[in-house]
Amino acid sequence: AQKITQTQPGMFVQEKEAVTLDCTYDTSDQSYGLFWYKQPSSGEMIFLIYQGSYDEQNATEGRYSLNFQKARKSANLVISASQLGDSAMYFCVINAGGTSYGKLTFGQGTILTVHP
């Protein structure tokens, strides 16, 4: 079974500052994918970034980067130059193989609030 832990129920950041959202995971599978999704108040799930377990370099997508530390089983999301539109709920997600192939396991989520 897979498990994702997000220990920050809520985070606050000043506009234009950087913020790190924490995520640790647990899986016995060697091959897996890690994702971050953003969910604004409208409810849609917006894909932000993906990291494969065999990727040696940290993933980056514009202002988003994933700090992947495989030995520590952590996959923190870093948002640089925060914008007011970044205020939303953020989910760390794992998609592992084995008997759970294809099933996404979500963390509890972190509500990010960006202050002007």
Partner 1 sequence: GAVVSQHPSRVICKSGTSVKIECRSLDFQATTMFWYRQFPKQSLMLMATSNEGSKATYEQGVEKDKFLINHASLTLSTLTVTSAHPEDSSFYICSARDSGGNIYEQYFGPGTRLTVT
Chain positions 39 to 58 lying near partner 1, rule: CB under 8 A, are 42-45, 47, 50, 52
Sort 115 into a burial class: Cβ within 10 Å, 0-12 / 13-18 / 19+: exposed
91 near partner 1, judged by CB under 8 A:
yes
Give min distance, CB of 41 to partner 1, in A: 11
Q: Integer distance in angstroms from the first to the last C-alpha of the chain? A: 41
33 near partner 1, judged by CB under 8 A:
yes
On whether the CB atoms of residues 14 and 115 are closer than 8 A, the answer is: yes
Residues lying near partner 1 in the complex (CB under 8 A): 32-33, 35, 37, 42-45, 47, 50, 52, 89, 91, 95, 102-109, 111
